[in-house]
Chain A
Amino acid sequence: MENSVLDNTVVKKSITLFGLLKIFCLLIILYFISLSIYFPVKQLKVFNNTYSDTLLFKGEEINIINDDSIAALKIKESFLQSRITMAKSDSICFSIDLKDSLLLLEIRGVIVHEAKISKIVKSHFFSRVDNIALIKYLSEPFKVDHKIATIEKEPIIFKKAPKDTIEAATQIFMPDTLANEIICITMVFDKNLFLEIAQSEEKPQFNNLWFLIKKRSKNVAQVVKNSFSFKEPYYTPKILIELPKKDIKSIYRAIPYKPQMAINI
């Protein structure tokens, strides 16, 4: 009798503990969900404060620039200004014109490759920020902080020197022209921008699952990290563009490890 009472108490206790654990987990998930909503909103304010330049416009100009059509002209001007800055450097860089749906690869200001963008998805962030801040943000080139891709940047083939002519004859290499790979690149820029360039051709997501997990989990890991540190909010505005496979490959292989980019939103 006593034993059964004891057992009941143990069972009840474990049920209560399990219930508490469930509530705790639920609270943590809710906390992260609410933070992931709060961070973008907060980031908007941080962005406006960082890039609002009071010297850029004066008097009535500040009011006029709120007009989207005039702001678009000023953004185009910023874009060209960025491209001129990039043209001064020796390295290969690229420009994205979302208005004309073009991606341009440039060497010293000369367009060497032009690719038509077939799909554009951009964060709502850009339609919520102040025009003045956006103009200032786009007036300088962006520099890639880090990038990941599904393809190799330099497809190096290692070859050991043959001992004689017979061994050399067996080493003749022919490149694989039938390789069917899914091409996707993601870049994070120094000015807090996430750019994804994906192929416009059909892309089965599950063939690329590891890349997908790697790409998306980074964002969540940063949200979690910043939630614990209680420092600044974490949100990176995103732009997704789609291009033909061969264009992405040419561009990715051509650009240096830390390329510069200009963008017209």
Chain B
Amino acid sequence: MNNELTGPSFNNESLDHISEETNTNSKDSISEKIQQIWHKWLKKLTHYFLITCFVVLGLFWLVLYFIPYLQEMAFLLIPETHKEYITADSKFSDKFKNNIIKTTIKLQRKIDSNTPNSSYLVINTTENSFHLYSGKRLVRTGSCSTGSYTLLQASDDKQWIFKTPRGVKHIHGKTTSPVWKKPDWAFVEEGLPVPPPNDNSRFEYGTLGDYALSIGDGYLIHGTLYQRLLGLPVTHGCVRLNDKDLESVYYTLNIGSKVYIY
């Protein structure tokens, strides 16, 4: 090959031929090298990697599916203890059965007696819906708005959480054309300076709708200007209803009526 290079018949064609050969040689050497690496450690590494994957997946399956399944299957080894039993004395059996039925009816009545006979309101704060009952009869159902679960942090370490309290509440008072006396958080939330306690800027007319029912601790059931937000958790803890629902609730519930919030 060297002769050809230095020889008199040296031309471009032979040069191309040489470069092709060199390329083939270098390609061969690369594949040889890869093969060497593969045989030396890559093959082993792949082998171990696959084994590890297999073991990990196997353990995963064993822990998550097989053991719980096996635990349940273990009970199939034991015969069922429950069976039909025919007593020799069927009279005694019937008497025993009747006694249980009588006690069950008595207990069921005791549970039912917990439900108020007068009107009451049930509020679902997750679904933002309400059900109004008069005794056992459902009077009205619809959407409402409850607490937004916002935690407002003021700069002076003061904070307020806007959530509707859960549990059994009672109607403490009823008002028509209520006036909203804005608390401190209403100003803080709007980025306004907090005025003195009885400042005129604290009183807002018409915001709470036509009626308001107090359920204690400053929480109210009232109307809203933002009717399109009904069904969403957007309030500061009060329960907002639309005008028609509010009117119905106002006239159905009395002072002392129960409000179940969950």
Chain A interfacial positions (CB closer than 8 Å to B) = 29, 32-33, 36-41, 44, 60-61, 63-64, 66-71, 73-74, 76-77, 80-81, 83-84, 87, 90-92, 105, 107-113, 123-125, 127-131, 154-168, 173-175, 177, 212-213, 216-217, 219-220, 223, 235, 246, 249-250, 253-254
What B residues does A68 contact at CB under 8 A? 82-84
Q: What's the dominant secondary structure at chain B's contact region?
A: mixed
Once the chains bind, are B166 and A175 in contact (CB under 8 Å)?
A: no
Does B197 touch A at the CB level, under 8 Å? Answer: no
| Residues of chain A within 8 A of B168, CB atoms compared | 90, 107-108
With contacts A64-B93, A68-B84 known, is A217 near B64, CB below 8 A? yes
> A66-B82, A80-B110, A127-B80 are known contacts; what are 7 more A-B pairs with Cβ within 8 Å?
A38-B74, A60-B87, A67-B83, A113-B124, A124-B75, A154-B163, A254-B124
Report whether B262 and A92 are in contact in the complex, using a CB–CB cutoff of 8 Å. Answer: yes
Nearest-neighbour CB distance to chain A for B37, whole angstroms, equals: 22
When C-beta atoms are compared, the residue in chain B nearest to A177 turns out to be B232
Contact between B150 and A173, CB atoms less than 8 A apart: yes
**In the complex, A66 Cα to B228 Cα: how many Å?**
59
Determine the distance from Cα of A60 to Cα of B97 in the docked complex, in whole angstroms: 13
A70-B100, A165-B192, A217-B63 given; A131·B153 CB < 8 A: no
Residue of A nearest to B100 (CB): A73
Closest A residue to B190 using CB positions: A168
Q: Tell me, rounded to whole Å, the shortest Cβ–Cβ distance linking B200 to chain A.
A: 19
Which residue on chain B has the smallest CB distance to residue A111? B115
Residues of B within 8 A of A156 (CB): 149-151, 161
Which 4 residue pairs are nearest across A and B when measured between Cβ atoms?
A109-B114, A124-B75, A162-B191, A254-B262
Look across to chain A and name the residue whose beta carbon is closest to the beta carbon of B93.
A64
CB-nearest residue of chain B relative to A253? B126
Q: Does the CB pair A164–B67 fall under 8 Å?
A: no
B125 touches A74 (CB 8 A): no
* Total interface residues in chain B, CB < 8 Å: 69
Q: Name B232-249 residues within 8 Å CB distance of A.
A: 232-234
Asked if B167 lies at the interface with its beta carbon under 8 angstroms from chain A, I say: yes
B233: chain A residues within 8 A (beta carbon): 175
Instruction: Tell me if B70 counts as interface (CB < 8 A to partner A).
Output: yes
CA distance A29 to B149 in the complex (A): 48
For the complex formed, measure the closest distance between the CB of B129 and the CB atoms of chain A, giving whole angstroms. Answer: 9
B114-A161 in contact (CB<8A): no
Minimal beta-carbon separation of B97 from chain A (angstroms): 6
Nearest CB in chain B: distance from A50 CB, A: 16
- Tell me whether A173 and B84 are in contact (CB under 8 A): no
What residues of chain B lie closer than 8 Å to A235, measured between beta carbons?
71
Q: Which of B95-132 contact A (CB under 8 A)?
A: 96-97, 100-101, 103-104, 107-108, 110-111, 114-116, 120, 122, 124-127
B158 to A, closest residue via Cβ: A161
Q: How far in angstroms is the closest Cβ of chain B from A20?
A: 17
CB-based contact A161/B154 at 8 Å? yes
Closest to A90 in B: B167
21 pairs, CB–CB < 8 Å, chain A vs chain B: A40-B74, A41-B78, A63-B87, A64-B85, A64-B87, A64-B92, A66-B82, A70-B85, A73-B100, A84-B111, A92-B167, A107-B168, A123-B72, A124-B75, A125-B75, A156-B150, A159-B152, A162-B190, A168-B189, A168-B191, A217-B64
A159 B151 Cβ-Cβ under 8 A = yes
